[in-house]
Amino acid sequence: MSDRSSASDHENRGRTQTTRHVTLSNTVFMISLGIIGGTYLLLIAAMLTADTWYMAEKSVKAAYAANSWQVLLFENPIAEALADRKIRYSIWLSLTSCTLSAVFSLLVAVPIGYLLSRHQFPGKRLLDAVLDIPIVLPPLVVGLSLLILFQYPPFAWIARDVVYQLPAVVLAQFSVACAFAVRTMKSTFDHINPRSEQVAVTLGCSRAQAFGWIVLPDASRGMMTAFTLAWARSLGEFGPLLIFAGATRMKTEVLSTSVFLELNVGNIEAAVAVSLIMILAAVTVLVITRRWGLRDIAL
């Protein structure tokens, strides 16, 4: 009887120890995850706060020196940047070129993403790998490759109207942004049940009708994500633009080149102000994507 009771005590003690060990292990695991994730989150928050703080500090100092709150509102670096004709042009060009390159990216990404997701064909794996090249290539190399490409016919025939001109801005942005849009669209089509499309075909639809009436409406959130992602990538593009489109003020200057040009002339306030405008645009895109697009972007 006592033997059985001591065995039971031993078993209970062992179980309690195991429970404690599991609880401790789980706690350590969760804290580790929190610390690693939190550190990166802190870095992002700190970068954005530093930019904002820098601008706020400059503005408040200027307002204090002038003894006027109006200086704080209307003569801060962002307001001054917005008042600059060259910056206003670069904002206009950025908005226009990013929208154009995102539209072109979507027009290309939808058919390629659909083809890769739904069909088996010779060379599919090669095509899949080639489409990743703009993502992994150093940005400067993309720009240089475009520049070299336009040395040879048939591209050379239109090089005068493209290289270092406005079309070069859109083409440089599109070259990289499209790869991201393709990945997003492929992932979108991978998540859409192909059976609905097959049912539509048995109901009398042609492949094109099934695509237009059944697949595209289901892919609308993915299309929104692909568009905004391409737009955001285009906004941040710098290397290929600098090489292929140049950084001519009031001609091929977009926001990213504005930051570079302002830094080059030592105007750090203007550079940070333009950066804040870009951050605002990026956050807007992020909000749109989270609200109306796919929540999980698998690239």
Partner 1 sequence: MIAIKNMSVECGDFRLSEVSLTIAAGNYGVLMGRTGSGKTTIVECVLGLRRISSGTILLDNHNVTHLNPAMRDIGYVPQDRALFSRMTVRDHLAFALMIRRVSASETDGRVRELAASLGIVHLLDRTPHGLSGGEQQRVALGRALSFRPRVLCLDEPLSALDSETRQQMCELLADISRKEQVTTLHVTHNLDEAQRLADCLFTVVDGKIKPVEPAGGRN
Binding site for partner 1 (CB under 8 A): 193, 195-196, 198-206, 209, 213-214, 217-218
Residue type, 208: A
Query: What phi and psi, each to the nearest 5 degrees, are found at residue 154?
Result: -80, -10
Instruction: CB nearer to partner 1: give 119 or 195.
Output: 195
Instruction: CB nearer to partner 1: give 5 or 202.
Output: 202
Q: Within the chain, how many helices (H) and strands (E) appear? A: 16, 0
Query: What phi and psi, each to the nearest 5 degrees, are found at residue 286?
Result: -60, -45
Q: Taking the complex as a whole, how short is the minimal distance between the CB of residue 207 and partner 1, in angstroms?
A: 9
Instruction: CB nearer to partner 1: give 23 or 206.
Output: 206
Q: Taking the complex as a whole, how short is the minimal distance between the CB of residue 143 and partner 1, in angstroms?
A: 41
Instruction: CB nearer to partner 1: give 108 or 201.
Output: 201
Q: Taking the complex as a whole, how short is the minimal distance between the CB of residue 183 and partner 1, in angstroms?
A: 23
> What span, in angstroms and rounded, lies between the C-alpha atoms of 254 and 90?
4
Element at 82 (helix H, strand E): helix 77-83
Of 136, 275, 294, 169, the residue nearest 227 (C-alpha):
294
Instruction: CB nearer to partner 1: give 210 or 245.
Output: 210
Residue type, 144: L
Q: Taking the complex as a whole, how short is the minimal distance between the CB of residue 213 and partner 1, in angstroms?
A: 8
Report the SS3 class of residue 238: coil
> What span, in angstroms and rounded, lies between the C-alpha atoms of 78 and 28?
45
Q: Taking the complex as a whole, how short is the minimal distance between the CB of residue 204 and partner 1, in angstroms?
A: 4
